[in-house]
Amino acid sequence: MSNNKKYWKGVEELNDTPDFQLKKNNEFNEYLPAEDFLGDEGLLSNSNTSRRDFLKYLGFGVTAASLAACETPVNKVIPYVVKTDKTNPGVANYFATHYYDGFDYCDIVVKTREGRPIKIEGNKKSPYTQGAINARVNSSVLSLYDEKRFKAPQIDGEEVSWSKFNGELKGKLTEAITNGGKVRFLTNSITSPSTLRMVADLVAAHPEADIKHVNYDAVSFSSILEANESSFGKRAIPSFQMHKAKVIVGIGADFLNNYPSSLELTKQYALGRNPENKWMSKHYQVESSLSLTGSNADSRIPVKPSEQSKVVLALYNNVASMTGGETLSKVSTPFDERVKKIAADLVKNAGESLVLSGSTDVNTQILINAINNQLGNYGKTLDINVTDNTKKAVDSEVISLIKEMKTGSVDFLVISDVNPSYSLPSELSFDEALAKVKTAVVFASRPNATTASTKYIAAAPHYLESWNDANPKTGHYSIMQPTITPLFDTMQFQDCILNWMGSDLSYYKYIKQTWEKTAFGMQTKSSMFEDFWNNCLHEGYFRPSISNESVVTTFNGDLNAAASAAAKTNSGEWELEFYTKVGIGDGSQSHNPWLQELPDPISKMTWDNYVAMNPSDAREQGFATEYGEQKNADTINITINGVEYKEVPVIAQPGQAKGALSVALGYGQTIGKQNEIIGFNFYSAMNGMNASTSSVSFEATGNDYQVATTQTHQTVMGRDSVVRESDWNTFKNGSKDDFNPAHMLATHEGPMNVNDVDLWASHPVAAAGHHWGMSIDLNSCIGCGSCVTSCNSENNVPVVGKDEVRRSREMHWIRIDRYFSSAEEKLDESDRSYGAMELPEDNPMVVHQPMMCQHCNHAPCETVCPVAATTHSNEGLNQMTYNRCIGTRYCANNCPYKVRRFNWFSYQNYDKFADLNPAQDDLGRMVLNPDVTVRARGVMEKCSMCVQRIQTGKLDAKKEGRSVIDGEIETACSSACPTNAITFGDLNDKSSKVLERSKNDRAYRVIEEVGTQANVYYQIKVRNTENNLA
């Protein structure tokens, strides 16, 4: 079945352009100016370096080097003066805490070495996020060691002491309160019970004053909150049980990346998509730009943004008519037939389905509520009584605060954890309003647009240095605890407020007080508060054993009004959608180089945002559709809602709806020591904070722009045994030969299974000791990139910057290959009229495939190394010894998987990378994993299967005198995978999960036919479609 599909990574590969053909045969396709240089006679003869000089320098260099080598290095070893009990050099400690920045919430475990946090992993014990983690959260450890952070509070740009700072502001606050003035707090959605209590305390203590707290989320879900208020009388976001849904419909909802409790949804989504279960959920996605969620859908309809609400209305009408509900005003879309099919599927699985929308339009969300209500999904796949509390911001409240500020009546404004000057639309002119506030204080950890124009800047600590608590979901409480002493002279928002309120409590004591008063009484296990507190601190979370009675709510929305509003959505020739990228999210961590260098899961772009456009649209407009080192993107001047952006690159994105453009938020901020600005800030153009607009126009500038895409880097030379997939019917009803046939080799004895034919003697790993192996389930992998950043953090993978990525020199040990697939029969390329809808690049299927060193037992790289720098261990690992490597790169050339990386530069001390590479300054170096060598220039490196973790795991077992427990040793990627797609273990352990999965019917090995005997297994992807081509 899989043979009649064509897989391609980029438009250039699809069309097999001559340039691509040239490039795919050359792994190191760097441009070397040697001929320009050597061919220039004039330059050579004018050069003032003679042969004699060269020999002199050579001689001097050799002598100097050998003399330098003879000197005894004098190193100091500095022990603790007073060592704390559990801090032991060389031993890692783990602390449970949580991450919350208003965009992501995650229960995490922080690994510290010698008292400094070096790695973030999901808290696998947490019943809420269940160990799931994403790239933004596991990269956040790097933001702690940011040289640009505020090191002390500032007044008028001068660093002052906290006593002065707090003294002055306490006076101002008291003055504002006694005068009965307006005191306002503008923060991200606060889920912390203690902070909420603190604000309530302040309000209660001063009834004479006008004190108000306003939640503000840069990427808000205000529409869902308001829709639920209208439908159920409850301003809340429901919680989901997606693993119980047999049919999932996402309409503009990127629920695997940007949605309330998206990590929980990711876990649930993966659970429901396991083809080994009795049923597998069917996922329909209707969206404008190809999102991470859409790339995983079984069936996807690209629509323009204005058509989304119409599809929702049509879907409602279809569902209502099939279930006997009241139908609303009719609307027609070009997708009526497909919508009808979706509706039928939904009705068939009523009560076991889920419809989600990411629309910022309240009426659309009311219709979504109505659909779920009509299907009887409430209480089954989603629950309005158990709410998600991480998104509380209602846009209208923020807008009215700004209006209030503009009148000059706000006396005291505290801004914390948000950057409104940057992330509010320019039409709201926040800066102008801010200037009219009498006293404004901004809590921020590094300079941003809002701190640029404020008098009082409070240096806020990083979350790994802070105390806090959270209630992200009804019935789930967690504590944030510091994992390091604050690096700088910083103070938390809450500590300051307590100080200003005249309280002598620290926020830590205040949290304990809150917990003693509330949470302690909600359980019966511990009778002593300290026991209870320490236990919660250790586990990182608390679930009350005494729960509140659930309130049953009934649906009561005004559907007709909603329907007529939804039908009236403005459309245009071009429509634009704002979205958030997997790496950068809402932009609060856009200064993090790990995230900037993480390739976008869909476009594979790094270090930029851009305007995404359908490839045929781009071709019509005369824009370039292929990008590479020598191929730049064209730029446009684009006006969105009256805001003009100049020289924005245009990228042709397969899967993008025709006529729809999309731009990523979160860019346009500074990074690095030079304060370089990356990309464009499209928040400014979000009129009314709506996620889409039809007020857009653009013109080509005729200029081009260098983009860094990893799209067709490390290509697999056209071998088609890389990705395997099947459909649900074939998988359920067929045999292994139907969906995952073995590779047969023609021999003189007839066809033989490739695994039975071997040129070499078998490697003795199969029986003795350990045999480490990995299994990757392509069905579970959603392509989120969490493994990539986790690997960066674990293995000290250097950041190389945009220019080097452009030259295919990214250093990531694990990459996620994103393959588009389409039917082999392409339409005639000249025919782009109405048949163009069927062009493969308009709506391709997507497969995400994590690819790293396959640790072949018969490794092609090992046989070609002239210095035996890469060898095989008796535990099945392909070992790379950096100090032996002389950099011939033969191994990389001979690797069929293209997973070896060459250190072209000394990234940790070469000037070119000083701006970006965290390992270049003393502060940034603290993030390095001390157990992993920092590689030098001129050596090869690649995935080691986290050998340092294997060794630690084995040693722990030996010290305790027991065998290694399956699952105890995890690689950085397997541990970070939110869908458990990656399993690591010992293939010699008869009871191991990895052995079971490697023997599964879906298991195969990539490029197995060349006989590499890889130790990494993959499981074929199964799509829930009638046939593989749908």
Partner 1 sequence: MNLISLRTPAKTLFTILAVVVFSIVSSFDLQAQEDGEKLFKSYCASCHSAGNNALVGPGLAGVYDKYEREWLYSWIKNSQALIASGDEQAVAVYEQYNKVLMPNQPVNNEQIDAILTYIKEYNEAAPAAEVASTDAAEVVEEGEAETSPYFIAAIVIALLMVVVILRKVQHLMKVVEARIKEEDIPEELTLGQAIGRTIQSNKTIFALMGIVVLCLFAKSGWDAAFGIGVYEGYEPEQPIKFSHELHAGTNGIDCNYCHNSASYSKSAGIPSANLCMNCHTYIQEGPQYGKEEISKIYAALDFDPVTKTYGPNQKPIKWVKVHNLPDHAYFNHSQHVTVGKIACQTCHGPVETYTVGKQYAPLTMGWCINCHRETKVQMDGNGYYDEIHERLPESLKKQYLEDGTITVSELGGIECAKCHY
Q: Which residues bind partner 1 (CB under 8 A)?
A: 66, 69-70, 72-83, 88-91, 764, 767-770, 871, 873-875, 877, 879-884, 931-934, 944, 947-948, 951, 954-955, 957-964, 988
**Cα–Cα distance for residue pair 1003/999, rounded to 1 Å:** 6
In the complex, least distance from residue 967 CB atom to partner 1, rounded to whole angstroms: 16
In the complex, least distance from residue 577 CB atom to partner 1, rounded to whole angstroms: 45
Strand order in the sheet with 660-664: 692-693, 575-579, 660-664, 611-613, 643-652, 633-640, 696-705
Question: Other C-beta atoms within 10 Å of 162: how many?
Answer: 17
Three-class secondary structure of residue 698 per DSSP: strand
Quote the Cα angle for 805-815-1008, to 5°.
130
In the complex, least distance from residue 697 CB atom to partner 1, rounded to whole angstroms: 55
**Cα–Cα distance for residue pair 1022/280, rounded to 1 Å:** 9
**684 touches 425 (CB < 8 A):** yes
| Of 25 and 88, CB closest to partner 1 | 88
Please report, as a single letter, which amino acid is at residue 687. N
**CB burial string 856-885: b at 16+ within 10 A, e below:** bbbbbbbebbeeebbebbebbbbbbeeeeb
Nearest by Cα to 812 from 973, 586, 1006: 973
| Of 119 and 206, CB closest to partner 1 | 119
| Of 931 and 1008, CB closest to partner 1 | 931
| Of 689 and 987, CB closest to partner 1 | 987
| Of 84 and 163, CB closest to partner 1 | 84
Question: Other C-beta atoms within 10 Å of 294: how many?
Answer: 26
In the complex, least distance from residue 972 CB atom to partner 1, rounded to whole angstroms: 13
Phi, then psi, of 550 in degrees rounded to 5: -80, 145
| Of 327 and 952, CB closest to partner 1 | 952
Nearest by Cα to 686 from 708, 663, 704, 709: 663
In the complex, least distance from residue 892 CB atom to partner 1, rounded to whole angstroms: 18
Quote the Cα angle for 791-795-797, to 5°.
85
**Cα–Cα distance for residue pair 478/107, rounded to 1 Å:** 8
Token look-up 């294997």 returns 950
In the complex, least distance from residue 907 CB atom to partner 1, rounded to whole angstroms: 16
| Of 73 and 207, CB closest to partner 1 | 73
Question: Other C-beta atoms within 10 Å of 124: how many?
Answer: 15
Question: Other C-beta atoms within 10 Å of 54: how many?
Answer: 10
| Of 417 and 986, CB closest to partner 1 | 986
Between strands 299-302 and 247-251, the pairing is unpaired
In the complex, least distance from residue 961 CB atom to partner 1, rounded to whole angstroms: 5
Question: 2: Cβ–Cβ under 8 A, 6 or more apart, which residues?
Answer: 723, 724, 725, 726, 1020, 1028
In the complex, least distance from residue 919 CB atom to partner 1, rounded to whole angstroms: 13
In the complex, least distance from residue 76 CB atom to partner 1, rounded to whole angstroms: 5
| Of 60 and 80, CB closest to partner 1 | 80
| Of 362 and 899, CB closest to partner 1 | 899
Of the CA atoms within 13 Å of residue 501, those in its CB half-sphere come to: 23
**Cα–Cα distance for residue pair 328/341, rounded to 1 Å:** 19
In the complex, least distance from residue 262 CB atom to partner 1, rounded to whole angstroms: 34
Question: 734: Cβ–Cβ under 8 A, 6 or more apart, which residues?
Answer: 726
Q: How far is CA 919 from CA 832, 907, 935, in A?
A: 50, 8, 11
Q: How far is CA 536 from CA 122, 389, 478, 523, in A?
A: 16, 20, 8, 12
- Paired tokens of 129: 């996020």
In the complex, least distance from residue 873 CB atom to partner 1, rounded to whole angstroms: 5
| Of 372 and 944, CB closest to partner 1 | 944
Question: Other C-beta atoms within 10 Å of 755: how many?
Answer: 14
Q: Which 8-state DSSP code applies to residue 378?
A: B
| Of 565 and 957, CB closest to partner 1 | 957
| Of 168 and 989, CB closest to partner 1 | 989
| Of 562 and 964, CB closest to partner 1 | 964
In the complex, least distance from residue 847 CB atom to partner 1, rounded to whole angstroms: 32
In the complex, least distance from residue 359 CB atom to partner 1, rounded to whole angstroms: 49
In the complex, least distance from residue 435 CB atom to partner 1, rounded to whole angstroms: 44
| Of 41 and 960, CB closest to partner 1 | 960
| Of 867 and 1030, CB closest to partner 1 | 867
Nearest by Cα to 351 from 326, 325, 381: 381
| Of 837 and 955, CB closest to partner 1 | 955
**Cα–Cα distance for residue pair 401/387, rounded to 1 Å:** 26
DSSP codes, 203-246: HHH-TTSEEEEEE--SS--HHHHHHHHHHHS---EEEE-GGG-S
Please report, as a single letter, which amino acid is at residue 329. S
Q: Which 8-state DSSP code applies to residue 712?
A: T
In the complex, least distance from residue 876 CB atom to partner 1, rounded to whole angstroms: 11
**775 touches 982 (CB < 8 A):** yes
In the complex, least distance from residue 875 CB atom to partner 1, rounded to whole angstroms: 7
In the complex, least distance from residue 908 CB atom to partner 1, rounded to whole angstroms: 12
Three-class secondary structure of residue 730 per DSSP: helix
